[in-house]
Structure 1
Amino acid sequence: MTATEAFFERLTVAGQDPRFSKVRGSVRFDIRDGDRLEQWLLAIDHGQMRVTRSAEPATTVIRVSARVADAMARGEVNGVAAIARGEIMVDGDLGLALRIGRLFSREPRLAQRRGVDSGT
């Protein structure tokens, strides 16, 4: 299981996040790994979260490489910084995309503790 798959599995198991009690919308993650495209849809309804593998339309679409998605899921890459570097493209509600960043791990990456840059 990839870090990205584990991330979505955690959201599925949790089913709810009180930090999103005033949020309603959907985010589709288009994750590209070479020629392969994996799509995950996160539907949020006042804190209730539902995750499916789906290509259906969403309020916000986040396009990202599998490498960056896995790094974000492991807490190694900051989403806002990745957007600024052009590693993540957002279509739709940017505010919702930024809020989604709260779902990713905030653990400092091992490379940072060692003073080494991973290049991401």
Structure 2
Amino acid sequence: MSEAIEQFFAAVPVRAPEVLHASPSGTLRIDLSDGHRTEHWLVRMWWGGAEVSRGSEGADAVWYCSFGLFERLITGRTQALAALFRNESTYAGSVILFLSFRRFFPAAPGTRDPREVAREQVRRAR
């Protein structure tokens, strides 16, 4: 397991108040695998908060992902929803929990909010 993944999960509870606005409550289990071993992470989410632990107990949703893909997600090199559509990972359970959790991932390097781009164009036109 990489130190980057450890740091990411350690930061989830700290970042939860800024990330989880009006999100549903529930537990997401993330199963990270390299083919030979699997690590289980439990993320309990509620409005404005989250708790992370390890364990393979039941959850409202389960996301199966490789270590390599997860490292690309936490560095912004790929997007979680796109990875699901490409069948690079699988998901079962409450989709709302996945959509809420993916907010913890950074945007791709160089990505800008389209609203900010539009505001800049309006300012230039004046």
TM over 0.5: yes
2:68 alignment partner AA: R
Asked whether the 8 Å contact 2:4–2:71 carries over to 1, the reply is yes
Figure out how many residues of one structure are paired with residues of the other and give that number: 108
- For the pair 1:96 / 2:116, whether they are aligned, the reply is no
Superposition deviation, residue 2 in structure 1: 2.8
Deviates more, 1:3-12 or 1:84-93: 3-12
Using the size of structure 1 for normalisation, the TM-score is 0.81
| Cα deviation digits, residues 77-115 of structure 1 (max 9, x gap) | 100110000011000011221221111111417xxxxxx
Whose Rg is larger? 2
Per the alignment, residue 16 of structure 2 pairs with 16
Percent identity over the alignment? 29
Using the size of structure 2 for normalisation, the TM-score is 0.77
Structure 2's unaligned 5+ residue stretches are 111-126
Superposition deviation, residue 6 in structure 1: 1.5
2:53 alignment partner AA: T
Asked whether the 8 Å contact 1:30–1:39 carries over to 2, the reply is yes
Any runs of at least 4 consecutive aligned residues in structure 1 with deviations exceeding 4 A, and if so which?
A: none
Asked whether the 8 Å contact 2:78–2:108 carries over to 1, the reply is no
| Cα deviation digits, residues 24-58 of structure 1 (max 9, x gap) | 11110000012110010000122211000111111
Superposition deviation, residue 15 in structure 1: 6.3
1:26 alignment partner AA: T
Per the alignment, residue 70 of structure 2 pairs with 69
- CA RMSD in angstroms, aligned pairs only: 1.7
Asked whether the 8 Å contact 1:15–1:50 carries over to 2, the reply is no
Write 1 or 2 for the structure with the bigger share of helix.
Answer: 2
Q: Secondary structure of the equivalent of 1:98?
A: helix
Structure 1's unaligned 5+ residue stretches are 110-120
1:89 alignment partner AA: T
Per the alignment, residue 27 of structure 1 pairs with 28
Q: Secondary structure of the equivalent of 1:91?
A: strand
